[in-house]
Structure 1
């Protein structure tokens, strides 16, 4: 999976950082450093997309066509 997403990162009141991705509802991450929060967010985004794809594939008929598309 390739793509670019927005990461909004803020300092957490209890220490460390938290991050959200406005393009992917439910995607958030946290870490002691900004880099850890970004890596955590990347993992969350990937897991959400993998889960959504697996979920839709369970209900597809055999004759459904699946192709990859790219955005500029």
Structure 2
């Protein structure tokens, strides 16, 4: 069975940090985007294995919308 999940990546000097906002505590990292993508996929799969179908349906039933905005500072 295939399930779509939302993941959020951020990049800094040390590489990539990635987390799944729908699954509290489910996060990973990698030196490259691809490594982080592979790592979070594994983390999500392992996380979901610990949940019932009802818990999965409830956790992943949210729509996540992200955007970038410009704000004034100082």
TM-score, with length taken from structure 2: 0.61
- The equivalent residue for 2:48 is 49
Deviations 1:27-72 (A, max 9, x none): 111101111111111111111111234xxxxxxxxxxxxxxx9xxx
Return 5+ residue gaps in structure 1 as ranges. Answer: 54-68
Q: Give the secondary-structure state (helix, strand or coil) at the position aligned to 2:50.
A: helix
CA distance in 2, matches of 1:44, 1:12: 21
Larger radius of gyration: 1
RMSD: 1.8
Query: Normalized against structure 1, the TM-score is what?
Result: 0.62
What runs of 5+ residues in structure 2 fail to find an aligned partner?
A: 58-74
Runs of 4+ in 1 over 2 A off after TM superposition: none
